[in-house]
Structure 1
């Protein structure tokens, strides 16, 4: 069964004198999600770790190291169509979330996902 996961990713930008965070919302397709096993906190951590392992570290145009990690599963939906073979996780959509420099994940949840109740905070 194919599922789509709406996730929030967080990036830490290691600048010369200060670190700051960026946030991104992504829609990821996966064929390995199982509600019975993966809706637990441990199951969510496993999925987020697997998605994070696919995120490359890179240097931005200023030479600062940027490290992305998946930090929250917001929503899970079954997808009722067939797609060609793919990796375990395939990102199909993403956009940056505009927040002040000192914003936290809790600030993002409060502003963009006020009805968030799926699982516990990871």
Structure 2
């Protein structure tokens, strides 16, 4: 995604991109926007979404000029095209660089789990 502005003119908007690039923009952008929406309605834990903050920010920065232009030239979506993604990345600001592991307050996530005891196969009685 970061190569998008180098390879294509943002003045074309998303609809002016070649089909493969256009599909990639929508696939990737809506992938991240859906995660944000899932977190907003409580389906996804915000700590999991935090692990994707940096990538989400980079995606938005790459597609932002295309989205802004698309909003101008496509009246069907108007100002709402990928708005959730935009607002989320703007609200994150400099918090995108937070170490995601530091957001986990439940340290049990990182504690080793004791292996379950294995039964010695020689002690199992066989029915012949």
Q: Which has the higher helix share?
A: 2
- Structure scoring higher RCO (CA < 8 A, sep ≥ 6) equals 1
Using structure 2 for the length normalisation, give the TM-score: 0.21
Q: Which has the higher strand share?
A: 1
Question: Considering only CA atoms, is the larger Rg found in Structure 1 or Structure 2?
Answer: 2
